[in-house]
Structures are given as structure tokens and as C-alpha cells.
Amino acid sequence: MKILMLPGDGIGPEISSATREVLAAASDAFGLKLAFEELPVGHASLEQYGATLPPNFAQRLRAADGIVLGPASTADFKDAGKGEVNPSMYLRKELDLFANIRPARTMDGVKAPVGPFDLVVVRENVEGFYADRNMEKGNAEMLVTPDVAISLRRVTRYCSERIARAGFELAMRRKKHVTLVHKANVLKIGDGLFLDSCRAVARDYPEVVVDDVIVDAMMAHAVRNPSKFDVIVTTNMFGDILSDLTAELSGSIGLGGSVNAGADHAMAQAAHGSAPDIAGQDKANPFSLILSAALLLDWMGQRHKRDAFIKAGAAIEAAVRGAVRAGESTIDVGGKLGTQATGKALAARLCAH
């Protein structure tokens, strides 16, 4: 099984290095036989190749069994015509990574502003209000006059049904409770279609309890009592906002794992940005990308029916929880270690498994 490592920008190379060390330790401990390939993306690729994506990138993506993408400085990449392509957007579209799965759970040893909870946001990932990914050609934002801008949102039954199915399948492995988040009271056609599509899929899962909440009320519920939720299924932009909120409510967005999954490919991706202000200082928390890599191993295990990968993913998550309790972490979550030392300590926990 080949893992393609794409370190990215800012703190990306540091947290990617720590993640690779943890994955290598998990491979040895569970007999996964992982092989690694590394390619530059973002500024490193732009400097080397004149574009943010290296040559023959699509073919090399498809040859990998799993992908780990470090954070990229997407705000710097403004002109795709000059080779400044957002790597994350490209991967999601090119590989049809339609499901962004983002768990959020509190951990012992990390102060959280609310009580303990364990939930997952399942976010539609390839349409919605994201102007760079919901059109076959061109962009879904238009400047009609200097004072008039129009943004188009795409919602399809096909994409709504498959993200719903991903959420219900996940709920069957958890507490069998799905909450649909929407704004169908105002966006009657678009969110109405999304909600109807999800409810149609729900009929195939009679064991799962289903409810729905309007998105603005959902934000209040998430802050007041996140423990009442299990699997949350929603559209692209609502899910983007809600998953950042729930990750921060767990104690730190640095503990927010994230996997972008499709039918045939999946990509681990940290929930946070490239943090250029602390790049190269050995301060960055690698746990978000490491937890994302654990989700990737779980996806690989589910897809290929390889129990060792599922167990390895669970072991990495358990090791992170143990490391946080023991203070073997970066300062933002209560530890005193640097980025690389945190990765090494976590790898040692897996080697002792």
C-alpha cells in the first residue's frame, strides 16, 4: 500500500514529517507494509516547476492507495492560469472526494469550554457554495458590475444522496443517530432538495434515528449541548463552518482530524491552515494531521477489508489520547514538546503496542 505525502506550505512540512513517522511506526506494529512517496505542492512546487502542482500529478495521485495533504497557503494562489491552483480544491475535484468526514471529541487533559462529547460532521465536499468546484467550466462567482456580485450554489440529488448514505453508513458503526442540518426554511428549493434526498436515503436505514435542525439553531445547540449529537450530515459551506466550531469546542482545532473520501480514493488533511507565523519553529501541533492519517487508515481498511488497517487507525487515535493525558504534546494542548518530539513520542507509543 502506497501513501503519497504532500507536505504543503508553512507548518506543513513539519507536521507531515511527524505524521509520516507515526504512520511508519503503525505500519511496523500492525504489519501494514506501507510505502511512502513524497511530492511538493504549493509554494515548493511553484518554485521548482512553475506551478503549485508538479508534473503528471493526476497520474501519480491515482497510483496511490492513500494521500496525506499538509496545509497549503491557498490565499496566495490567485491565478490558476499562471499555475496557481489550490491543491486541496484540485484533489477534491480530480478524485471526486465527495465526503469530508470530521470527528470532534473531547480528550482527557485538554480543557474544553463545554462538557464531554463525541460527534462526527459529514460534510458534502464537491458542490454547494464553493465557487471553484461546482461548475464544469468557469467560476460560480460573477462580478456583474463593480457594485454587484452574484454567487451561485449547486445542489444535486445525486450528491445529496451519496453524502447522506456516507453519513448513515457511519452512524451504523456508531450510535445510530443522524442529524440533518439545513436552511430549508429559507433556501426552500436548494436545501429542500438536499433534505428530501437525505430523507429518501434514511428509509434504507430503519435502525437509525433521524432528526433535522436549521443551521443557525444548530450552532446554538452545538455550543450548548454537543453531546446530544452523533453523526451530523450537511451541505458544503454549513459543514465547513460547523466542523471548525465543533473541533474548537473539543478543546483545540489542532485536535480536529479530517478525511476527504470518495468511492476509490481518500485524502487525509489537517483541519487547520498553514500557520506561516510559526513555520520552521518546531511549535506546530501535528495531531490534527496525524488523526487525519488515522482516519485514512480506517478508510483503507474498510475499502479493502483489511482489519489491520482499521486496528492501526484506532491505535493511533488511542495513542494520541494517551499522549495528551501524559503531556507528550505541544504547548497548545498542555504539553511541553516540539513538533518533532511529539511525533517521536507518539511513534514510540505505537512501537510499544
Any idea which residues carry the catalytic annotation?
Answer: 130, 183, 216, 240, 244
CA gap 28, 237 in Å, rounded: 39
Q: What does the radius of gyration of the chain's CA atoms come to, in whole angstroms?
A: 20
What is the length of the chain? 353
CA gap 39, 7 in Å, rounded: 8
Alpha-carbon dihedral of residues 108, 110, 111, 117, nearest 10 degrees? Answer: -50
CB 69 within 8 A of CB 91: yes
Question: Could you tell me the maximum CA-CA distance found in the chain, to the nearest angstrom?
Answer: 63
Q: Exposed, middle or buried: residue 80 (CB in 10 Å: 0-12, 13-18, 19+)?
A: middle
CA gap 71, 258 in Å, rounded: 12
Buried b (16+ CB within 10 A) or exposed e, 13-28: bbbbbbbbbbbbbbbe
Selection from 47, 54, 63, 77 nearest residue 6 by Cα: 54
CA distances from 11 to 54, 90, 281 (A): 20, 20, 9
177 φ/ψ angles, rounded to the nearest 5 degrees? -140, 125
Buried b (16+ CB within 10 A) or exposed e, 148-186: eeeeebbbbeebbbbbbbbbbbbbeeeeebbbbbbbbee
**In the Cβ-directed half-sphere of 44, how many Cα atoms lie within 13 Å?**
16
